[in-house]
Amino acid sequence: MIATEPKQVSVTIDGRKVTVNDGTSIWDAAQSLDINIPVLCHKPGLNPVGVCRACVVEVKGARVFAASCIRSCENGMEITTTNPRLESNRKMLVELLMSDHPSPCEKHKDTRSCELENLAEKLGVTKPIFAHRGEALAAGQAAMSKSPLWDPGIPDLSPRLTQKGQDISNPSIAIDHNACIVCDRCVRACTDVKHNDVIGRMGKGYNTSISFDTNKPMGSSSCVNCGECMISCPTGAISSKEKVETSLPGGQPLTVAEMYEIPIFKGINVEFLKRNQGGVVVHKYKKGEIICREGEFGSTAFYILQGKCEVYISTPMAHVKSDKSEGSTGGLFGIFRKFKHGLVGRKSNPREGDGGQFIRADAPVDLPYDNPIAVMQEKDLFGEMTCLNFTPRAATVRAGDDCVVLEMLRNVLHMLRKNKAFREQLDKVYRERALNQHLRSVPILNGIDDKFIDQLKSRVELLHFDAGDPIVKQGDAADAFYLIRVGCVRVSQMHPGGEMVLTYLSRGEYFGEMGLLKGGKRTASCTALDHVEVVKIRKADFDFMLSWFEDLRPKFEKEAARREEASRVMTERAPSVPLDDFLGQGLMHAQSLLLLDLEKCTRCDECVRACADAHDGVTRLVREGLRFDKYLVPTSCRSCMDPLCMVGCPVGSIRRKESLEVIIEDWCIGCGLCAQQCPYGNISMHPFEVSIDDPSKPGYKKAALKEKAVLCDLCTELKEPSCVYACPHDAAHRVDARSFFTAHMQGKD
């Protein structure tokens, strides 16, 4: 069954027609027309509940007003967002809320950002016409006490209702129950956004209020002090007592007032900015100064306010190659060939699958392979993957001219990304500057022309996913083709024995074509491993692209067939018997596993010496490791079915060849993340002294010690791996783990 486009409905709001997806709320539809409907209990990012009724609108033909945040659009609806009746309704609501609200509350006194008081000023509610509920109750009790029927034993309730109290038990967040309008935004932020489940409602009627756990003081509750409730609160009911101590080395920290003068911070909650003072600094760089270096770990992102920056890779564009020398090693028999290691480029040593023309960088631009340098401009954001996913810097960035750059911590970037205006600005810049190059960076798409891309720019969707979010699910209808813009995606299939990881995809790679080409069903699930952004090209546009560019369909079909065959091979290798110990030790993922039969092994270490002699004295084999039955699994690359070493590489330089060998590309920056990611310690860093140009000082050459990641190359230039060939007792073997251990277990049973 071929997927169809989402159902569309057309509505008229204040005389203006708009077409939206079925299920869109009236409030969201109005926002798309820049029609501002007042709201207190709703906030983008939270599930709407419609408890405040400030957002009510009039739907033609309806009996009562509708809460626009929860009422879905229906085809043909005629909606009015403001008229005398609606304004009177809102004004009465605000009069009631303001009668119990301390004015100004702490938030409004400090920054004039209390949403209730701002709405009251807009509606002309300067002084509530209603008395405070406690005062009203006290007056009522006083009047009733003069009646001869009055019972003097009735307790006076007015003091308890006049002051609901403050909670200052938390070291950094203050609660003022008097300013609370019970809008539930803090409850939803705590439960739905952060999943902490700490805040709820308690009491009824006049006594309704928010509570922490089972009505504990906030400081004694299970609150993790994340501040999400404070950021969501529309009034001064939840406010910051003091800023969190955050600071960045160098640069000039910005005050809240200074941040609010920068357009990207407009709309960000003031309490959040107060809480994170010191988390944003401004740097002024002179032309040629280095902003960040490739391979370094960091926790910040950068935003260019003025000027231009250059992003480049200074590491030599070469990979480690082992060459056989004429001499032989000693060893037990002195007949093993020795390898000499050096750095060589793609042109002198082409390898299977070489041909990518662009290198991904943690920036809105990719780097050409032949000249890995590009320019970023004002309003560009870079370093976000390092900041959000804790990966090393993918490239070096220097000031292209005198420039002003903001540096921010992760929590500030996270909040900015939730800001609709900032997100729209980034997406607009991406469509205008980067989408063209991004599409061309995919080898299979580099034949499409500028005219088609210009038409596509306004039609694609830019989607964002957090770690663990499903992007597509196996078996679902295939409705789009996806191009990865940021992050890493895991592709997996469900089988009777469980989920099997097929591959990992990163920036510049794509998925979704198989379902579109083969029957309209998703053949695998794709899940975000970290913060992921994708370009979604709808099926209709994908089909049009294939029909317009005739050479594309054969290319996609060939790649789909290759992926299908790889999946088939992996499925056939899946075990047919339960091997709990095998799975627990991670051996199930090995496709080329070195095993030592301990009943034959004499511990002579000839395998280790042969490996060291073959690789400049740096062995890639250690005769230690896991044990399974009579076998030792020494430390050596297993060519895993689920190669965790490939996850998170900041420049995408580690990949698997069709032969299943995992290799390191020329542009490895030596950050060492793959070595850390490998759960079996099978990747090491090999130092090389090289003479390179220092890009920050044109014409100046220097010698530098550069590291490149290396791992077992399976002695691919020999008929048999040196370690296996060297064993004098037939104890060393390279096996496919699944088939070997499945047969072993079946034999034992």
Count Cβ atoms within 10 A of the Cβ of residue 664 and give its class: 0-12 exposed, 13-18 middle, 19 or more buried. Answer: buried
Asked which of 197-201, 584-588, 704-708 is least confident by mean pLDDT, the reply is: 584-588
Percent of the chain with pLDDT over 70: 75
Extents of the domains making up the chain: 8-82, 107-147+155-240, 448-572, 585-748
Measured distance CA(395)–CA(485) in Å, rounded: 17
Task: For tokens 């699944």, name the residue.
Answer: 738
Under the banding of pLDDT at 50, 70 and 90, the label for residue 135 is low
Task: For tokens 């699994």, name the residue.
Answer: 633
- How many other CB atoms are there within 10 angstroms of residue 714's CB atom? 21
CATH topology of domain 8-82: Ubiquitin-like (UB roll) (3.10.20)
Contact assessment for residue 514 and residue 567, using Cβ atoms and an 8 Å cutoff: no
β-pair partners for 527 = 470, 490
Measured distance CA(734)–CA(639) in Å, rounded: 11
What's the whole-number mean pLDDT along residues 253-269? Answer: 83
* 108 three-state secondary structure: helix
Q: Which two tokens stand for residue 37?
A: 């409907």
CATH topology of domain 107-147+155-240: Alpha-Beta Plaits (3.30.70)
Under the banding of pLDDT at 50, 70 and 90, the label for residue 149 is low
Q: pLDDT tens digits, residue range 344-400?
A: 777 777 766 555 677 878 888 888 877 888 899 998 999 888 887 777 888 899 999
The whole-number pLDDT of residue 90 equals: 92
Residue predicted with more confidence, 126 or 48: 48
Q: Which two tokens stand for residue 741?
A: 């251990």
* 572 three-state secondary structure: helix
The whole-number pLDDT of residue 576 equals: 42
Q: What is the largest CA-CA distance in the chain?
A: 119
Pick the CATH number of 448-572 from 1.10.3720.10, 2.60.120.10, 3.40.50.460, 3.40.50.2300: 2.60.120.10
Q: Which of 45-59, 143-157, 428-442 has the highest mean pLDDT?
A: 45-59
Q: pLDDT tens digits, residue range 483-532?
A: 888 888 888 887 765 677 777 888 778 898 888 887 778 888 999 887 88
Under the banding of pLDDT at 50, 70 and 90, the label for residue 579 is very low
- How many other CB atoms are there within 10 angstroms of residue 580's CB atom? 7
The whole-number pLDDT of residue 162 equals: 44
What's the whole-number mean pLDDT along residues 55-61? Answer: 94
Q: Is the peptide bond before 104 cis (omega within 30 degrees of 0)?
A: yes
The whole-number pLDDT of residue 399 equals: 93
Measured distance CA(167)–CA(186) in Å, rounded: 15
Contact assessment for residue 117 and residue 100, using Cβ atoms and an 8 Å cutoff: no
DSSP output for 433-477: IIHHHHHHHSGGGTT--HHHHHHHHTT-EEEEE-TT-EEE-TTSB
Q: What are phi and psi of 560, to 5 degrees?
A: -60, -40
What's the whole-number mean pLDDT along residues 276-305? Answer: 88
